[in-house]
Structure 1
């Protein structure tokens, strides 16, 4: 499989220029790297850079701050980062260092992170607005406030402190929401790797295995393709499929169980997100197939709404209509269709929305509503479509034959100029397709 190109330094520079144009010449934008997190004692969680820093620079190291100063004559894009340190690099791996950052990242200038206390207050001085994500990192919030206060302390001597603090997401989230052709190539690759991983799991599953064996197979395929899990993989067999964010992944898989797998690869920062539900022994029971077909019909109804100019919520509403009608027909719910939909009765067995934005974060940035109304879909938007049904094993209000069945079907969809592209279309979706794929 040919690997798609990396996002280039020129692309990162173009993104920074676009963001600075939106912010205006009297602003400063401050983006700290994600902090490292301790797992226990001297062991850390795997490091993953803040998605906004990745989007604007591609820089993957911790202990860094990206600063943008629109209109600054001596350089607008600036990076504070760790200096080269041969001894530490022997333990933790190579660093770019301030000397290498300009060439590697295309920023205008770079300084040691240890110098930020001396330099950043001078960059803040004279800027009317500070764009920043308050609340993400309390420690850095306090540092930024301290630097601003240093400027305020010099007002008597003519210093000009900023007058406004603005949420950076108001500008940056909208930029990230519309994916470019370059980003879509990476997302197609992440989706293709994820499809291959789900196919490997469908081939590997056997009654008597444990859930974590399937998780290991999924993530083996991710890693073999140079990707990693975009989020904690969910492998739920039997009634565990009714737990929406099931995490244990350690139960046995029994004959007759359905197995719900919700997992996606992250490739060069971009996530895929797929869910399939399939029979451990390759064949759906009558009840399992009835519910799977119903979820599949809801998926098709939502997908039919995926085109430019249609409200984002139209897909969810279409899925709910189909699920409500089906649950009434199967006797899972009582009453009228209007009561079940308008009154929210469907939420007993379908408690979540039908999708979310997808990109550098698996639940990516971007508003779903604009001025109180569902936003309209536009080319370049990428989101999931993921209807489901979950009948708790202890729910005695329904017939025993339905209890403990959990099903979700999820695909990744990009809006195009004239419709949509299903990035994950290569994976069997319907009950017939799944049984045919799993057949010996």
Structure 2
């Protein structure tokens, strides 16, 4: 059974955790995403702002979450009077029967209060009048300045009104703060409920990769394989992909973010698929590379096993207190030594390892945080050499995805040219080590060839 639900109490706890980090007499503003026009009067499928969703679970556009931190000096008195010191307020679209006939049902402010565990809710029609009252007389204002120009303009217009209304008893916050660092730290450590969803997203995604392997053969088009993947996602509760699926055959696999997915698959080529489902807002991000005809050539197998060995070496380092720099060193050494052994790199092996010479063909990072966003939020704590030194902690989830990309212009023997390989799993840091969430997507040559032969 796929886990697709986070309890209302968890959203409330998240808001309370954020409020606990805010100073007394402060207010935080977190807007929802807006619908984006695709063509004239049609919109892209709506994707909620992830920070807003993380704190509310609310899935409509144009809404605004307001969190108010009260005056600490009044806490005892207010608690005695059974009055909340802190408040969570939502502005959302008003109920509108005519609009709902055309565009779908709206929750509306009245129902939203109970359904989402909020102290107060208002229609967007009240925003201009009510929002300034929540900002007035607060000492600090938290929001993601620069993220949305229109939202910034609205906030600064309100601040101007408050600053110019001293005679009416108004006052504007004296300090403005970026709310994103606090939310990024919260989102970096996943709860048990989040992890259950991410396990389910991985299970669905792994089945989709299996389906793609079984379907693929020479003469199929990349977009046909993509369609099989998306069908598997949706059939199992994941309405959309977490990102534009990469389905690149042959030399297309050497293009890191290839999403045209329009070419025919040829006998003797490899197919690289980077595709993951989005489930309840959470992303899986899995890459597999396999032969179009179901059988690796000697050259393909040699490079594939090298990438796999480097991935396993990197994953083995993941535990609390370790970091991406350590994992990178493990992967880079395996790749460099292997490329030297195959004759693709030449020179003194110790110098090559010290220089990370494999980066000539391993041209991207080893991995990234994963969660509500595919490239999820969270500080990597890079040093001056761009080494990622953030210590791993239980609850962090990341991708580990080494690869090798040797295009047609590379200065190597002809037999290595046009090969692109990446292998990517989703890894959870546990109290004693790690858990690979990507458990059902075949990864060894024997597993892949056996599945495709079946």
Bigger drift between 192-201 and 160-169 goes to 160-169
- In structure 2, the CA distance between the partners of 1:253 and 1:121, relative to structure 1 (3 Å rule), is same
Match of 1:171 in 2: 182
Which of 409, 426, 435 matches 1:394?
409
* Deviation at residue 235 of structure 1 after TM alignment: 0.2
> Residue in 2 aligned with 1:264?
276
| TM-score scaled by length of structure 1 | 0.97
Q: Structure 1: how far apart are the matches of 2:351 and 2:43?
A: 51
Aligned to 1:66: 65
Does the Cα contact within 8 Å between 1:235 and 1:261 map onto a contact in 2? yes
Do structure 1's residue 375 and structure 2's residue 386 form an aligned pair? no
Q: Report the Cα distance in structure 1 between the residues aligned to 2:254 and 2:351, rounded to whole angstroms.
A: 24
Q: TM-score, normalised by structure 2?
A: 0.94
Deviates more, 1:275-284 or 1:373-382: 373-382
Q: Secondary structure at the match of 1:365?
A: coil
Which of 403, 418, 436 in structure 1 is aligned with 2:450?
Answer: 436
Most deviating of 70-79 and 188-197: 70-79
Using the TM superposition, name which of 406-415 and 305-314 deviates more.
305-314
| One of 103, 109, 117 as aligned partner of 2:120 | 109
> Shift of residue 344 of structure 1?
5.0
Q: Deviations over 1:180-221 (max 9, x none)?
A: 111100000000000010000011001000000000000000
Distance of 1:370 and 1:387 partners within structure 2: 19
For the structure 1 residues 435 and 82, does the alpha-carbon distance in structure 2 shift closer, same or farther, using more than 3 Å as the test? same
Is the CA contact 2:140–2:174 (under 8 Å) kept in the aligned structure 1? Answer: yes
After superposition, what is the alpha-carbon deviation per residue over 1:39-93, rounded to whole angstroms, capped at 9, x for unaligned? 1111111101000111111000001101100128566100000011111111111
Matched, 1:427 2:438: no
Q: Does 1:412 align with 2:426?
A: yes
Q: 1:137 to 1:439 in 2, by over 3 A?
A: same
Deviation at 1:314, TM superposition (A): 1.2
Candidates 194, 200, 219, aligned match of 1:208: 219
- Aligned match of 1:86: 97
Structure 1 residue 394: Cα displacement: 2.0
Preserved CA contact (<8 Å) 1:151 1:159: yes
The match for 2:261 is 249
1:125 aligns with 2:140: no
Q: CA deviation at 1:158?
A: 4.0
Q: Is the 8 A contact 1:23 1:171 kept in 2?
A: no
Structure 1 position 303 matched with structure 2 position 315: yes
Bigger shift: 361-370 or 351-360?
361-370
1:281 has 2:293 as partner: yes
Q: CA deviation at 1:113?
A: 1.0
Quote the offset at 1:157 in angstroms. Answer: 4.3
Pair 1:71–1:328, CA change in 2 (3 A): same
Of 353, 361, 372, the match for 1:360:
372
**Aligned residue in 2 for 1:48:** 47
What is the match of residue 25 of structure 1?
A: 24
In structure 2, list runs of 5 or more residues that go unmatched. Answer: 72-82
